[in-house]
Every structure is written in C-alpha cells, then in structure tokens.
Amino acid sequence: MKAVRIHATGGLDVLKYEEVSDPVCRDNEVLVGIKSISINFSDVLIRRGEYPYMPDFPAILGSESSGEVQQVGSQVEHVKVGDRVIVFGHPSYCTLAAVPATKVVPFPDNVDFDAAAALPIIYLTAYHMLHTVRRVQPGETVLIYAAAGGVGTATIQLGRIAGLKMIGLTSQDEKAKLIKEMGIDHVINYRTEPVVERVREITAGKGADLILDCVAGENFGDNFRMLNTLGQVIWFGIADGNPTTDLLKAIGRDPSQSYGVSMFHLFSVMKNPQLSAESFATLIRYLAEGKIAPIIYRKVPLEHAHEAHKILEDHENTGKVILNP
Ligand SMILES: NC(=O)c1ccc[n+]([C@@H]2O[C@H](COP(=O)([O-])OP(=O)(O)OC[C@H]3O[C@@H](n4cnc5c(N)ncnc54)[C@H](OP(=O)(O)O)[C@@H]3O)[C@@H](O)[C@H]2O)c1
C-alpha cells in the first residue's frame, strides 16, 4: 500500500510518500480501505517535533479518516465487509489501515466520506469544551480563537445549536467574511484591531463568559482583561507556544471576578469510553440531520500531503483540509 511517513521531524520535505507493506488484520481489528483523510494542526506539530505526544519513527501521520471495510477480524461484530466507516485513530495518511475495532464507527449513507473523516477531532473537541468543561448556557458569550479553522468552524456550528453569542478571532478579512456567513455574531481581525478593547466594547464592558484559546503564547494573559465575572478560559492549543503568563497572579488580581482556567485535551474524553461514544453518536446524528456540516476548504491528493501541511502552516484554510488517496 501507499503511505505518507516521516522518518524524522522537520520541514515539509520530511513527508515521504512511500510504498509500505500492507497491514495485517488481527482478530480484534478491522481492515479499512481509506477514502478520505482529515488533517489536523496536531499533524503539523508532530511533523515539526513540537507535539507533547510523539510517535515512534518511521511513523504514518494522521489520526482520523473514513473508508470502506475490506476485512474484519474474528472477534469483530459491529461492522461487516463493505460498511462505510469513520476511523478515529492512527494511522490515516495511507491507503489501507488495520485498526482496533473500537476505533471504527459506521456512518449514515447520506454523509460523504470527506465529511465523515472530518467529524471526530474538531467536533468532539468543540463539543466537550462547550458542554463538558464549561456546560454552556444559552445566551452566554464565547470568544473563539482561530475561529475560521477546523475547531473554530465546528465551534460556530455547535455554538449556534447551543444558542450562544459568538465572537471570533482571525487574521484575515476574507476568512472573517466566510465565518460571518456561517452565523458568527462578531469577528475581530487580531492583526488590525485591538482585541481586548473590541471584546469589551461588543460585550458592553462585561467580557466573554467563555474564551477558547488554542494560540496561547505571550498574549495568554490578555484573556483575563476580557473575561466576564465567573468566566472561564479553556486553553487547548499552543499555536504560539506555551503560555508565559503567571496564571495565579492573573486570576488573583481581582478575586471578586472568580475566574476559571481549564486545560482541555481530547485524550481526556477518549479515556472515558461511555462519554466519548455518547457524544460521538450525538455528532453523527447532527451530521446526518444536516445540523452540522464540516467546512471543507481544500482536497489534496495524498501524495501531495506537503501542500496540505503548507496550507495549515500559512493560516490559509477556512475549515478543513482533506487528503484523498
Ligand atoms: N486540545 C485538543 O484536544 C485539541 C484538539 C484539536 C485541535 N487542537 C488545537 O486547536 C487548534 C486549531 O486546530 P485546527 O485543526 O482547527 O487548526 P486549523 O484549522 O489549521 O486552524 C489553525 C488556525 O489557527 C490560527 N493561528 C493563530 N495563530 C497561529 C499560529 N501561530 N500558527 C498557526 N496558526 C495560527 C490561524 O488562523 P488565523 O490566522 O485566522 O488566526 C490558523 O488558520 C490547534 O492549535 C490544535 O493543535 C487541540
């Protein structure tokens, strides 16, 4: 089979499109012919060697895809040959994957392979930040960093279902236009507008009830200048590096505000099979009912995975970039 592997961390040139041996399907596994692969910013971080959880090399990148079942192990009962399935797990930048049966979920006929592949990571992340970590209430205001990205656009769609008011941050006016069309209430271009002042203005001086920050870095402390009383910051990414803020000092500056700070990683949900299965079922239902629909920005052939990574690194995408074998 064909696969995109990395043998070492580095730039775009470490992504190698190679012939590798076909995987063997064990008793508790499913062999899937991959049709669509969803790429995530974490794939870029792994390629660059900046992710907290690094694979052994050589590694086939990626952690979500969709395809057709080609073979099932003797212990597998919930899917059969020919079923269309989402694979939520490694590997995915390849044409054939043998994966544990627990990572394979059938999806409805009215959903296409690209939308199915794009579902797990961005929607589960958005869903659990809104409903498990914060338990949002209708009418609350959420400030979304990287609002035009994969998680950002998933958050906008789920935020609408939850009745939230939403403010998004982006670096480009074109992306701002697209997410306004998706129904976000306000967009701030953080390259050209003063973010803290604009958020305070939009919220009539109160600040946001929830801030979803995947950028962090040096400006993380700004969150506490635009957070409502009893508001919460959820830190879930390191696009600009680890936060440099003295957190206890930041939240203790005005005790009467009772600020909350949480860290979120999707692995925490995966550790709880019931929580993850229930939310996954809800999201597949929303997808089948047309309540959510992943925004597909570009489809790139698998052998050109480097182009897909470049799109993400250049901040170019609105929504998801898909690889097709
Ligand atoms: N904790 C978790 O479980 C979890 C799960 C999924 C994703 N994440 C994190 O969530 C973030 C978004 O993921 P995604 O897959 O939705 O990514 P994405 O679609 O590629 O969106 C990334 C966007 O982030 C913005 N950005 C701001 N500062 C950036 C920087 N220094 N470098 C690159 N991009 C920057 C860019 O948009 P603008 O230029 O418009 O700002 C960029 O387009 C990533 O940081 C990812 O690691 C975390």
Q: What is the mean pLDDT of the chain?
A: 96
Residue 52 neighbours by CB under 8 Å, 6+ apart: none
Q: Residue 268: inside a domain, yes or no? A: no
Residue with structure tokens 């990148």? 61
| Full strand arrangement of the beta sheet holding 2-6 | 16-19, 2-6, 59-60
Domain limit, last residue, from 243, 263, 283: 263
Taking only the tens place, the pLDDT of each residue in 42-65 is 999 999 999 989 999 999 999 999
- The amino acid at residue 208 is A
Asked whether residue 184 falls in the same domain as residue 112, the answer is: no
Do 232 and 314 share a domain, yes or no?
Answer: no
d(CA 170, CA 179): 10
Q: Are 52 and 15 in contact (CB under 8 A)?
A: no
Q: Is residue 274 part of a domain?
A: no
- Domain identity same for 37 and 78: yes
* The pLDDT value given to residue 125: 98
Distance CA 72, CA 293 (A): 29
Query: 10 Å Cβ neighbour count for 162?
Result: 18
Please state the rounded mean pLDDT for residues 134-154.
Answer: 97
Look-up: residue for tokens 């801030």? 211
Atom 8 in ligand 1: residue holding the nearest Cα: 237
Residue-level pLDDT at 59: 97
Predicted confidence band of residue 161 (pLDDT cuts 50, 70, 90): very high
Residue 147's CATH number = 3.40.50.720
> What residue numbers bound the domain in which 251 lies?
137-263
Q: What separation in angstroms does the CA of 318 have from each of 112, 131, 252?
A: 19, 24, 37
CATH of the domain at 43: 3.90.180.10
| Residue 257: predicted pLDDT | 97
Whether 150 and 93 map to the same domain: the answer is: no
What is the pTM for the complete model shown? 0.96
Phi/psi-derived region of residue 146, left when phi > 0, alpha when psi is between -120 and 50, beta in every other case: left
Nearest CA to ligand 1 atom 24: 146
Report cis status (omega within 30 of 0) of the bond before 91. Answer: yes
Token pair recorded at residue 16: 């190698």
Task: Choose the weakest-confidence range: 183-187, 199-203, 208-212, 241-245.
Answer: 241-245
DSSP letter for each residue of 256-289: GG--EEEE--THHHHT-HHHHHHHHHHHHHHHHT
DSSP 228-250: EEEEEEEE---TT-S--S-HHHH
pLDDT given at position 100 = 96
Same domain, 254 and 144: yes
Question: What residues form DSSP beta bridges with 165?
Answer: 141
> Looking at the DSSP assignment, which residues form a beta bridge with residue 88?
64
Stretch 239-263: mean pLDDT, rounded?
Answer: 93
125 domain-assigned: no
State how far the Cα of 104 lies from the Cα of 89, in Å rounded to an integer: 8
Residue 278 lies in a domain: no
Predicted confidence band at 293 (pLDDT cuts at 50, 70, 90)? very high
Number of domains in the chain: 2
Find where tokens 């009383």 sit. 229
Which one of 245, 263, 281 terminates a domain?
Answer: 263
Give residues (CB < 6 A) around ligand 1: 40-42, 121-122, 125, 146, 148-151, 170-172, 175, 214-215, 236-237, 239-240, 264-266, 312, 315, 317
Whether 282 is covered by a domain: the verdict is no
Task: Give yes or no: residues 29 and 83 share one domain.
Answer: yes
Per-residue model confidence (pLDDT) at position 226: 97
Query: How far, in Å, is the centroid of ligand 1 from the Cα of 96?
Result: 28
Residue whose CA is closest, atom 17 of ligand 1?
41
Q: Rounded mean pLDDT of 224-232?
A: 98
| Inter-CA distances, 246 with 197, 218, 219, 224, Å | 22, 11, 12, 11
**What is the pLDDT, as a whole number, of residue 13?**
98
Q: Report if residue 289 sits inside a domain.
A: no
Asked, for residue 31, whether it belongs to a domain, the answer is yes
Does 178 share its domain with 235? Answer: yes
Rounded CA-CA distance 47/236 in Å is: 19
Whether 69 and 182 share a structural domain: no
Kindly state whether residues 150 and 238 are assigned to the same domain.
Answer: yes
CB 220 within 8 A of CB 249: no
Q: What is the reported pLDDT for 113?
A: 98
d(CA 118, CA 294): 6
Q: Which atom of ligand 1 is nearest to the CA of 39?
A: 15
Q: Which atom of ligand 1 is nearest to the CA of 45?
A: 47
pLDDT value at residue 108: 94
Closest-CA residue, ligand 1 atom 36, reads: 315
In this structure, the answer to whether residues 246 and 207 fall within a common structural domain is yes
Distance 57 CA to ligand 1 centre (A): 25
Residue 143 shares a structural domain with residue 256: yes
CA–centroid distance, 145 to ligand 1, in Å, is 8
Is position 276 within any domain?
no
Cα–Cα nearest to 208, from 221, 222, 220, 223: 223
Q: Which ranges of the chain does DSSP label H, i.e. alpha helix?
A: 41-48, 113-128, 150-161, 173-181, 195-202, 247-252, 267-270, 273-288, 305-313
> Three-state SS for 175?
helix
Q: Mark whether 254 and 177 lie in a shared domain.
A: yes
